[in-house]
Amino acid sequence: MLPTFVAHPKIALVAATDPRHEAVESFSREFEAKGYDTIEELCADPSVQAVYVASPHQYHVAHVKIAAAYGKHVLVEKPMALSTDDCLEMISAAKAASIHLLVGHSHSYDLPYLKTRELISSGSFGSVRMINAINFTDFLYRPRRPEELDTLHGGGVVFSQAAHQIDIVRLLATSPARCVRAVTGIWDPKRPTEGAYNAQVLFSDASFASLTYSGYAHFDSDEFNGWRGELGQRRDPDVYGQARRALKEARSPEDETNMKNRRAYGTVGREEFSLSSDISHNHFGLFIVSCERADLRPMPNGIFVYGDDERWFEEIPEPRVPRAEVVDELYEAVVNGRVPLHSGQWGLATLEICLAILESAKSNGEISLSYSG
């Protein structure tokens, strides 16, 4: 999110905290802003209107509750938390403090999916009947901290990646999700957490969705998006196996953690997070939405419409600021009081489906949902 916050005209970075002192020092220097030792000190700063919580998953509930206690609006990273009880605590704290709680960035903020939702809502193509979502990446072989490879601590692709896919499917569906049946894959004993899943989601209007994800670094579904990466950057299809090769340098979990830290803000400066001017909208793999009278396929630069008698492309403007839609929704909530789409209740419903995927895979059964309405 750093390139977005830096470039967006409605955001000013005024303060930050991080357990890594070098990150706080870099932030203070590069942005001429305040650096704090604790989140309590940060939230006590009267110049702070909203807090972006980008801590590891297991700390979200505590950090959101602290921000709410100080009356700060919150944008918390997905997944919202690791249990529905924690989500309900966060929602309750936000309500008691009369602050807005938003969950994201997830890719359901991305303009191609928002425009696809608009096309569906127009009614021109009839009701949604089926959604297929497919994403193949190298997620599991990027440098990870130990807890990111431990499902009990929020590791694996279900918590970190399914939240994106579920959010998009829920955005494009026209009714609440009713139940889930899923299987997961743990195929590398050196990475002992879920690296793949397939989930079938049934909605209350009898429409359904199939969600497939693999983070095992073989096939790359950016091929379906004109070799544009998840962040809209141009990809070179001839560069293959880079993540696995780099990971071989790590001889221990400590080495891998250090590899991850070397890529983090504080170790490197803000310039390392700058994106090229040759950028498209973010995406999350291949999506095909089957309506009664057309299939819709969102792409990084528009939406293909496959109608009864013709096919055409609905072009969308290039992004001036990557992920600007996240800040736009936050700004509208904080400044204009508009109820956000990606609210705490939204994040709760998505987290419930993530948990249902894990539970279904374990029990080999169908899991009913309670919070998707």
Per DSSP, the residues of 286-354 read EEEEEESSEEEEEETTEEEEEESS-EEEEE-PPPSSTTHHHHHHHHHHHHH-PPPSSBHHHHHHHHHHH
Number of domains in the chain: 2
pLDDT score of 16: 97
* Residues 29, 99 within the same domain: yes
- What are the strands of the beta sheet with 311-315, ordered from one edge? 311-315, 302-307, 294-299, 286-291, 128-136, 208-214, 196-203, 177-185, 367-368
pLDDT score of 76: 98
CATH number of the CATH domain containing 339: 3.40.50.720
**Distance separating alpha carbons of residues 325 and 319, to the nearest angstrom:** 10
- Residue 29, domain member (yes or no): yes
**Distance separating alpha carbons of residues 33 and 15, to the nearest angstrom:** 5
* Residues 189, 288 within the same domain: yes
* Residues 118, 191 within the same domain: yes
Which has the closest alpha carbon to 314: 119, 32, 70, 61?
119
pLDDT tens by residue, the chain, 373 residues:
998 999 999 999 999 999 999 999 999 999 999 999 999 999 999 999 999 999 999 999 999 999 999 999 999 999 999 999 999 999 999 999 999 999 999 999 999 999 999 999 999 999 999 999 999 999 999 999 999 999 999 999 999 999 999 999 999 998 999 999 999 999 999 999 999 999 999 999 999 999 999 999 999 999 999 999 999 999 999 999 999 999 999 999 999 999 998 888 888 888 877 767 789 999 999 999 999 999 999 999 999 999 999 999 999 999 989 899 999 999 999 999 999 999 999 999 999 999 999 999 999 999 999 998 6
pLDDT score of 273: 77
CATH number of the CATH domain containing 166: 3.30.360.10
pLDDT score of 57: 95
Q: What is the distance between the terminal CA atoms of the chain, rounded to a whole angstrom? A: 29
What's the pTM value of the predicted model, to 2 decimals?
0.96
- Residue 291, domain member (yes or no): yes
* Residues 150, 227 within the same domain: yes
- Residue 373, domain member (yes or no): no
* Residues 69, 147 within the same domain: no
- Sorted by sequence, the CB contacts under 8 Å of residue 116 that are 6+ apart come out as 172, 287, 289, 296, 298, 303
* Residues 101, 112 within the same domain: no
Helices and strands of the chain, counted as H and E runs: 12, 14
* Residues 114, 207 within the same domain: yes
* Residues 302, 327 within the same domain: no
Domain membership of residue 250 as a residue range: 107-321+352-368
pLDDT score of 373: 64
Indicate the SS3 state at residue 184.
strand
Q: Which helix (H) or strand (E) holds 132?
A: strand 128-136
